[in-house]
Structure formats: C-alpha cells, structure tokens
Amino acid sequence: MGKPQSKGAVVLPLIPLAPPFAVLPTTSVKVPIANRADVAAILAKIYSISPTAKPDAAITVVCVPLCSKQLSKDGRLLIEGNEGNNGENSDYESDPVNASTRDIFGYGCIAKVSGVQGRRAGDLSLVLEGLERVKVVNIVQERPYFEGELEPVEEFIDMANSELGDQFQLLKQLSRELLALVRLSSILPRSPSVSLSPIVARRLEVYIARKDLSEAGVLADFMTNVVDCTHEERLRVLASVDIKERLDRTIEILQRQISTIQGSTRITVTSTTIPSSTGIDLDQLRRLQQEALRRRGAIGSGKSMPGGFPGFPGSPGSPSQSGEEEANEVDELKKRLQDAKLSPDADKVAQRELQRLQKMNPAQAEYQVCRNYLENLAEIPWTKTTVDLLDTKTLVKAKKQLDDDHYGLDKIKKRLLEYLAVLKLKEQANKTIDEQIRALTDANAPDDQKDEKEEAEERQAKEPTEAETRLLEKKRMVDKSPILLLVGPPGTGKTSLAKSVATALGRKFHRISLGGVRDEAEIRGHRRTYVAAMPGLIVNGLKKVGVANPVFLLDEIDKLGVSNYNGDPSAAMLEVLDPEQNHTFTDHYVNIPIDLSKVLFIATANSLDTIPPPLLDRMETIQLSGYTTLEKRNIAERHLIPKQITTNGLRDENIDIPTDVLDKIITSYTRESGVRNLEREIGSVCRSKAVEYATAKDTNTLPAYNPIVTLNDLDAILGIERFTEELTEQQSRPGVITGLVAYSTGGQGSILFIEIADMPGRGNVQLTGTLGDVLKESVGVALSWVRSHAFELGLTASDNENIMRDRSIHVHCPSGAIPKDGPSAGLAHTIALISLFSGKPVPPTLAMTGEVSLRGRVLPVGGIKEKLIGALRAGVERVLLPEGNRKDIRDVPQEVKDGLRIEFVGGIWEGLAKVWPERWETAALGHVMPRL
C-alpha cells in the first residue's frame, strides 16, 4: 500500500469552483467566467509576468472546489466522525466570488488552461484540463485572487497487492457494466434521460479495457468524473490520496449508479423479457458483459494518453487500438484484396490504405470511408476473366445462336461474326506467342545440376533469348476490341442482338442505361472527398459482373446528357470508348487506372443526330432499319408468337394465329418500325385465348374450345382498328403531292402530304406545318424554278408574265404539330406547284423524294430504305427517286422492291415526264416544250 511522499511546496494561483464544478485529474471542464474578477486578475497577472507568452505555452492554475457542509477539508464525512471543523463549516460560502480562506477545500487539481470558449462577453468559459492532484497546505493570498501553497500528492501503487488488483478488476467490470447498461437503456423505449452515442460508448469501452493496475487511480478519477454523482462524492474522491480508498469510493459510486439505471429500466424490460431481480433481461446483460470481457482480452493494456484530451479516449492525441472485431475486419479485407488479384498499381494503393486503416480509430468517420474504398477495390475484377468460347466450333455456334434469336438482320449478323472471327484469331496468335515465351523462360531458368561456372558461361549465350522474349511480347496482339454502335428505331432488336453476342461468346452481359445521364460523375464516379462518394456506372458494372471481360451494352447512348454545370457526360464516355485510351480508364472514386480494353462495348442508339461527333467517331456504326410487313410476319411467327405462348402459360396446340390474322395485327393495330408493339398485341391475343382456354377447362367444355384466332376475334380482343391505309381516303387534287420522310428520331420512314393552295393576293407565300428553315428554303427554290420556267411550262401566256402577280400561295404539310425539316421535299414541292398552277392532279399512290437545285437538277437524299419501307406500308405504288440514290436500292428488302415501282429521275423535266408522261415525255429529252 502506498505512502504519500511529500515534496517541496509550490505557490500557484487558485481558482475556487462552486458546485457542480470540480476538476479531477484526466478530466476537462468548462468553467463560466462571467463575473469572475479573480479569474480575470489571474490571467492578467500571468500575462503581465510574461507579456510575450507564446500562445501554446501552458498556463497552469489550481482548481479547488469550495468546501461542502457535509465534509471536512480533507474529504471525511462530518456526520460519521466528528473530526474537528464541526461548527466551522456549517455556513460555508457557495459563491466562489465571495469565498474566503475557510471555504477552500483541502485538495485541488493542477489544471492547464487550454482555452477560452464562447462568443459574447457574457458567456465566456475557461476550458481547464485537470493534470495532477495537489494538497492545499496554506492560503497565502485571498484578494484579488487566491494563491495557495501546494504540496504534490504522490501516488504509490503496490502492484503485488492482490486485494488492490481484485478491487481494480471490480472497478473495471463495474465501469463496463455501467457502460453496457447506459447503451442498453438508451435503446429501450421510454428509457431514462441517459443516452450515449454508440461512437462515444465504443471509445469508452476501448479506454476502459486498455487501463492496467498501474493506472488504477486514473481510471477511478475518470469514472468519477463521467458518472452522475454528487458534489460531495466527487470531493471525497479528490481527497482520496490513497489508491485503495479512491477505488473503494469510486466502486461505491458506480454500484449505486448501476442499481439506479437498473431500477429505472425495470418497468420497460420486465414487460417484454424475463423478469429478474434486477429487472433487466439477464441474458442480454450477460451477453453485453461477455462482449465487454472479450474485448478487454483482445485489446490488452495501453499506456496513458500523452498530449491527448484527458478523459476522452477517442481524441486524436490518444492512440486508439481497434478491438478484435476491427482486427478481424481488417484481416478479412486483406484476404479479400489478396483474392482480388489487384493490378500492381492498385495493390500499391491498397497496401497504403490498409496501413492507414489499421492506424485509424474505428469510430472516426474517415475509417468507414477508407474501408468502403478498400471494399470497392476488392470487388473490382482487376484481372479475373471468363474464358471465351473460341474453339473450332465457335463461329458455327455463334451463327446458330444469332439465327436462333433473330430473324433477318443478315448484314448485322455478318459483322458480328466477323468480330468474333477476329477475336478468335487474335486469341490463337497470342496463345502461340505465350507458349513460345514460356518455352524461352523455362530454358532460361537456373539449373540446379549445373555448377556456377557453367551457368555463367551459358548466361552469355542466353542473352539474345531474353531480347527475343521482349520481341515476342511486342508481337502479342493487343486486345483492342472495336466499339460497335447499333443504330435503329425502337424495338428492332438492338438490345437482344447484343445479348446474343454475349451468349455466343460465353461472356457475362451487363446493360448500362445511359438515357438521361446528366452528370459526369454518374459515369466516372465522385471523388472520394465527397460525402457518400461512389464509383461510376462503368466500375459498378464491372463489380456486378465480377470479370474484366464482359459485354457491356451502353443503351441509348444518343440520350446521354449534354454538357452542363455537372460536367459533360459524353466527354466522360470518350475515354471509355476509345480503344487507345480505355486500358487506363480512371474512375474519380477509385483513382487508379482500370483496364477496360478487354470489355466488349456495344452501344445502341435510335438516332445519330444527337451523338456528339467525337463520340460517334470512336464507334463503328451498324444501321438497323425498320422491318417490312413480311419481315414482321416472319419475326412474329418464329419468335414473338412462341415467346408469348410460353409467357402466357399456353401450349402450341392451344392457340393458332393464322397468317391473315397476323397481317391484320401488323397493318391495322401497329404502325412502328420495330416489333415491340406487335409483341404486345400478340401478347393480348394470347392472354385472351388463355382466359378462354382456362374457362373451357374449368367448365369441362374443352371440346368446344377453338384454338384458332379469327379476324372477327381481333375486333373483340384488340378493339377497333387503330390504323387504316392512309392513301385509300385520299383523292387526287391539284396541288397535293405525296412526299416521303424518314424521321431521324426513331429512324422510321413514312409518307407526308404536301398541300399547296392559291388565292388572290400580291405574291405572298405562307408556310405552315412546323416547317424547319431548310424546308422553307426548299419551297423558295421550287417556287423560283417554277416562276422562271412558267412560260416553258405553259403556265403563262408570255415570257414576261409574272405567275404570282395576282395570287398568293399557302404551303402546308400535315401533321402540323410534328416538326419537319430537310431539303428532300424539293421535288414534291415543285411538282405540287406545277400541279396547282396547271390544275392537273397527281395520283396519291405516286410518291416522290429528292432535293432540287435552282437549275432544275434532282439531287440524292438520305433515308431511302426507311422511306421506301414506310411508303409500301402506307400503300404507295410508285415512287420517284433521285438518280443519285440508285445505289441505295441494293439495301432495300426484296419485298419492298417487289411491292413498289421505283423510278429514277435526274432533273425536274424528267420528273415531269414520269408524272404526266402524255405531255412531257419529249420535253424531258430537252427539245420540245409543249404547253399544258
């Protein structure tokens, strides 16, 4: 047992503290200093002694509590033993400003003034950190502030004293128990006001577990300070110079505190759990205690906290060692990172971060951030790949797979097979090179059998082989997969083609929807400094598939957001899609180059117009055009109907959709380039039949059930026809011409009527129908040509006559609400004007497209395939196309070529000869100009 040894006394300023303030070693308090003239005087004095005091120089004072009426100056209870001072302290002062020498307690604590807090003069507080217990031997000055003669208190701990050891263990156990109770009670409903944040609780647990017997007094002081106890109890602990006595007093306080909490939680707990003498669920408590004990074992002992915030184990100054749980967590993470086979770059970063993580306190917010980052690193497939199914039968199998899944699309399938063939050849070449390199390395490996001399001789000879290895390495074919872009109207099978490629290759498939991505960070991730930062879509995709060589479908790349204040998402895609750059793609979150060169990117878009040119430049475009009715019929028969039959729980023999019914669905219930609506309508028919079949089965009337769907059924199942042939209602009228359009959005083609009417006026031209600038200009060109050739066309009586002198015209293109633009209606406008002025109608089944020049030439236009498919669908019989578009006919499906009479014209005169052959056949040859 210890015996206090006295040292030489020192004189220091005293700051008397009124209840509830009392400073114990290891604790920190904030003392309000409003109206504290003595504190102001102390500070003034200190600074006057050392006016150049460095800001970080420690200012030390002694905090002494005011005496309590129940205690003697040395902390003994006055009620228990009448040890002097009896009558004296009955009227002790409770205001530190008016205190006199007899009000000052016998023990105090040397404290460091660590700062002043508060904003206004009225609410300033002095922050004091208790350092060391001292005995106040004598008061040498009262005004303007107290000064006292102090004697240091030496603490002696007899480490061999088993009784003290037991007491210390009890103190630790009670401390943990109290903590567990506080945590438990804070999560219980209607808990008392004690509540502890899990982070603080955790820090406390670690702090308690780390204390050993040599710090028994420190722990007792600390616990006295943190628990809710009376002022007198605190004074008694302060006055307990003897460690055993101090432990006894603290244990007493803790025990009382524990029973108070147990008592207050009884009502809540007993209603839901096993009632016990304490009122707490014993199992739960035991578990909490066991956990605490387990932690203590794992944590071991730690030293005091130099420079740390006293009494606050989680503060930066106190080295915090994580518990077993954290240790396990870090080990697990380490293992996962090892299994993830990181790239050398990533490995370096991961090791650095792991070291940081190990040093961090788990309660720190940064710990989670660091852990999440490492988890992300472990989940990214750095080197893991699936083996491509590239054996001798690959191409045959792939072709079968594509044919099985899709009807038609021969050109696209051919291109995809080419891609697979190249991939296969590259892989084979690389395999051979790998084998050669391996053979060379094996030959270079040191041979145990040979002695050193022999080896040195041989090394000379081996030198060239190493160079050879490097040469071979260079020859390896780099895996730079081209990026394919499938462009076409919705529902034409772009997504499902990409899926089939993945299946054929045996690769994993992941779809990344880029539609509506407005933020660059969605693609590249957020920097780690942001709260809740995450990797971007690409890295997330890789994490999800878990291999470095999947097929990524970049869906709707044309709907990617444009540059805005959140960055430019399409610019972020540039790096992803450039085969020259994407082997070092950097996600902002991961911040380590990731190799994307093994990923097969297939992008899809509905239109090329909105794709930024640099992005488009990096991709190989494959066009898919809309399907013709015949193609749709085949797709429906081979793919959609069987699919819908299974989806709706039917069997092949339960339903039969004859070809005429299918054609009716295609033409009268859908009008689209793709087959998505068709699939939906077929689904409706199947569902209706499924209900009929199920009812027949339930009512035992199966023999009466008819699996065949008739034309009449369609009306009942799908409702009235949604689309009728557009041209059937149209009558030939002067000034009305059927033009052709290919909508850039959706890529489908259709017919478009051009209506021109004239009226008395002064040569004005009115344009309606949401016409774009180019279309307006094309009307101007047509009108100028007609005006300049009016006499030759026989529209005016003389060369000088102005055909527009007494009239105005109005050009309109229904449907008025749909914006239209482009020069391709030039021919139709010219013919319409001539038709109007001459009063000669043109049959609506004759459609035309082509740009006209002022000299009367008909120039080629785009979208011929779509326009012709649309024309056939709309019931057009004859089409006039520019001569320059003759080459485009090769791509047009045979069915369309068979269904339309396609004629080519090089100039307007030629066009006139085709429209009104009886009048203009000879004029077209450029010789005669007959009059209409």
Ligand X SMILES: Nc1ncnc2c1ncn2[C@@H]1O[C@H](COP(=O)(O)OP(=O)(O)OP(=O)(O)O)[C@@H](O)[C@H]1O
Catalytic residues: 824, 867
Q: Whole-angstrom Cα distance, residue 861 to residue 508? A: 41
Do the beta carbons of residue 709 and residue 656 sit within 8 Å?
yes
User: For ligand X, which residue of 65, 106, 490, 561 counts as binding (CB under 6 A)?
Assistant: 490
Q: Which residue has the tokens 């088993």?
A: 162
Q: Minimum distance between the CB of residue 573 and ligand X, rounded to whole angstroms? A: 18
Query: Residue 488 annotated as binding?
Result: yes
Query: Residue 491 annotated as binding?
Result: yes
Q: How many CB atoms lie within 10 A of CB 359?
A: 12
Residue 604 binds ligand X (CB under 6 A) = yes
E strands in 556-599: 585-586, 593-594
Query: If you compute the radius of gyration of the chain from its CA atoms, what whole number of angstroms results?
Result: 46
Q: For residues 397 and 559, which CB has a smaller minimum distance to ligand X in the complex?
A: 559
Q: For residues 738 and 748, which CB has a smaller minimum distance to ligand X in the complex?
A: 748
Q: Which residue has the tokens 């092949």?
A: 652
Coil, helix or strand for 473? helix
Query: DSSP readout, 608-631?
Result: STTS-HHHHHTSEEEE-PPPPHHH
Query: Which of the stretches 76-84, 492-500, 721-729, 868-876 binds ligand X when contact is defined by CB under 6 A?
Result: 492-500
Query: Which of the stretches 150-158, 356-364, 540-548, 674-682 binds ligand X when contact is defined by CB under 6 A?
Result: 674-682
Q: Whole-angstrom Cα distance, residue 569 to residue 513? A: 13
How many Cα neighbours within 13 Å face the side chain of 541?
27
Exposure of 595 by Cβ count < 10 A (0-12 exposed, 13-18 middle, 19+ buried)? middle
Residue 496 binds ligand X (CB under 6 A) = yes
Coil, helix or strand for 678? helix
Query: Residue 394 annotated as binding?
Result: no
Q: Whole-angstrom Cα distance, residue 446 to residue 134? A: 74
Q: Minimum distance between the CB of residue 491 and ligand X, rounded to whole angstroms? A: 5
Q: How many residues bind ligand X (CB under 6 A)?
A: 18
In our burial notation (b when 16+ CB lie closer than 10 A, e otherwise), range 468-497 reads ebeeeeeeeeebebebbbbbbbbbbbbbeb
Q: For residues 265 and 500, which CB has a smaller minimum distance to ligand X in the complex?
A: 500
Query: Residue 493 annotated as binding?
Result: yes
Residues 257-276 binding ligand X (CB under 6 A) are none
Q: Minimum distance between the CB of residue 559 and ligand X, rounded to whole angstroms? A: 10
Query: Which of the stretches 133-141, 242-250, 484-492, 776-784 binds ligand X when contact is defined by CB under 6 A?
Result: 484-492
Q: Minimum distance between the CB of residue 512 and ligand X, rounded to whole angstroms? A: 13
Q: Whole-angstrom Cα distance, residue 914 to residue 903? A: 8
Q: Minimum distance between the CB of residue 417 and ligand X, rounded to whole angstroms? A: 16
Q: Minimum distance between the CB of residue 890 and ligand X, rounded to whole angstroms? A: 20
Q: For residues 317 and 515, which CB has a smaller minimum distance to ligand X in the complex?
A: 515
Q: For residues 20 and 515, which CB has a smaller minimum distance to ligand X in the complex?
A: 515
Q: Whole-angstrom Cα distance, residue 455 to residue 462? A: 10
Q: Minimum distance between the CB of residue 709 and ligand X, rounded to whole angstroms? A: 20
Query: Which of the stretches 76-84, 130-138, 675-683, 779-787 binds ligand X when contact is defined by CB under 6 A?
Result: 675-683
Q: For residues 227 and 678, which CB has a smaller minimum distance to ligand X in the complex?
A: 678
Query: Which of the stretches 142-150, 487-495, 699-707, 784-792 binds ligand X when contact is defined by CB under 6 A?
Result: 487-495
Nearest residue to ligand X, scored by beta-carbon proximity: 493
Exposure of 198 by Cβ count < 10 A (0-12 exposed, 13-18 middle, 19+ buried)? exposed
Q: For residues 511 and 583, which CB has a smaller minimum distance to ligand X in the complex?
A: 511
Query: Residue 492 annotated as binding?
Result: yes
Coil, helix or strand for 907? strand
Do the beta carbons of residue 184 and residue 281 sit within 8 Å?
no
Coil, helix or strand for 694? helix
Residues 706-735 binding ligand X (CB under 6 A) are none
Query: Which of the stretches 68-76, 135-143, 671-679, 779-787 binds ligand X when contact is defined by CB under 6 A?
Result: 671-679
Exposure of 57 by Cβ count < 10 A (0-12 exposed, 13-18 middle, 19+ buried)? exposed
Do the beta carbons of residue 626 and residue 868 sit within 8 Å?
no
Residues 352-411 binding ligand X (CB under 6 A) are 406-409
Q: For residues 510 and 639, which CB has a smaller minimum distance to ligand X in the complex?
A: 639
Encoded one letter per residue, x for contact with ligand X by CB under 6 A and - for no contact, window 559-598 reads: ----------------------------------------
Q: For residues 622 and 902, which CB has a smaller minimum distance to ligand X in the complex?
A: 622
Whole-number Cα distances in Å, 16 to 94, 101, 150, 189: 10, 10, 14, 41
User: For ligand X, which residue of 292, 675, 803, 832 counts as binding (CB under 6 A)?
Assistant: 675
Q: Minimum distance between the CB of residue 642 and ligand X, rounded to whole angstroms? A: 10
Cis peptide before 144 (omega within 30 of 0): yes
Do the beta carbons of residue 495 and residue 553 sit within 8 Å?
yes
Q: Minimum distance between the CB of residue 869 and ligand X, rounded to whole angstroms? A: 14
Q: Minimum distance between the CB of residue 623 and ligand X, rounded to whole angstroms? A: 12
Residue 829 binds ligand X (CB under 6 A) = no
Residue 639 binds ligand X (CB under 6 A) = yes
Q: Whole-angstrom Cα distance, residue 340 to residue 349? A: 14
Q: Whole-angstrom Cα distance, residue 862 to residue 846? A: 19
Residue 494 binds ligand X (CB under 6 A) = yes
Residue 635 binds ligand X (CB under 6 A) = yes
User: For ligand X, which residue of 68, 318, 401, 492 counts as binding (CB under 6 A)?
Assistant: 492
Residues 676-705 binding ligand X (CB under 6 A) are 676, 679
Query: DSSP readout, 161-180?
Result: -HHHHHHHHHHHHHHHHHHH
User: For ligand X, which residue of 25, 75, 491, 844 counts as binding (CB under 6 A)?
Assistant: 491
Q: For residues 318 and 492, which CB has a smaller minimum distance to ligand X in the complex?
A: 492
Three-state helix/strand/coil letters over 809-865: EEEECCCCCCCECCCCCHHHHHHHHHHHHHCCCCCCCEEECCEECCCCEEECCCCHH
Interaction site with ligand X (CB under 6 A): 406-409, 490-496, 604, 606, 635, 639, 675-676, 679
**Which residues are known binding-site members?**
488-495
**Which residues are known binding-site members for ATP?**
488-495
